[in-house]
Amino acid sequence: MAMPALMPRIWTAAEVQALPDDPTHRYECVDGELLVSPTPRLIHQSALTALWSILEQLVRSGGLGAAFVAPSEWVLDGKTLVQPDLYVVPLVDGRRPRTNEERGHPLLFIEILSPSTARFDRVIKRGRYQRANIEYWIVDLDSRLIERWLPGDERPSIHAERVEWQPAGADAPFVIALEPFFTEVLGPA
């Protein structure tokens, strides 16, 4: 006699928010699938702060938005709660948003790839972010590149030397040179 198949548990954003604080893990859910990842490594945090600094300066000088880093929850629907490593949102009446409700639709979500989160970032989150019409970058430190996913893309554009980004409202694209970024975080190639 065959064993009956077990149905996977479907998680809600509210259930994930109700979990007890755990300083050693990050809890998210996408389309009801619980995603548990360990706290980031130091190299991950180094990349995150370096990229935040670049993006914050670009969007602030352009008067377009504000950049933020995790932990910061985004509830995309009742079964999806994510904490992108870095995100950019538009300004509110010329100022940085002060509450989650003021953030508006994200201009950009970014994840710094880690061995423990690669499947989450490249498959599960990517598809959900695309469905939510959010531009999404995956920073691959091992390969020293950025995968850039636009909402309708079937494949990413791959950027190893520079990435040009023109969010809504920008007069011209912002250009980020990647070699100096990766050298700052990882040292010379």
Decide if 8 is inside a domain: no
| 189 SS3 class | coil
Pairing of β 25-30 and β 136-140: unpaired
Inside any domain, residue 10:
no
Question: For residue 163, what is the domain's CATH number?
Answer: 3.90.1570.10
Task: Tell me whether residue 2 is in a domain.
Answer: no
On whether residue 83 sits in a domain, the answer given is yes
Percent pLDDT > 70 in the chain is 96
Residue 3 scores a pLDDT above 70? no
Residue 17 lies in a domain: no
Residue 1 pLDDT greater than 70, yes or no: no
Mind listing the pLDDT tens digit for each residue in 57-78? 999 988 899 999 988 999 999 9
Residue 133 has pLDDT above 70, yes or no: yes
Cα–Cα dist 160/183, whole Å: 12
Residue 35 lies inside a defined structural domain of this protein? no
Q: How far is residue 105 CA from its own chain's centroid?
A: 14
Is 21 inside any structural domain?
no
Residue 146 belongs to a domain: yes
Domains in the chain, number: 1
The predicted structure's pLDDT at residue 61: 87
pLDDT at position 189, please? 80
DSSP string, 57-98: HHHHHTTSEEEEESS--EEEETTEEE--SEEEEE-BTTB---
Q: Which residues span the domain enclosing 121?
A: 41-186
**8 band by pLDDT with thresholds 50, 70 and 90:** confident
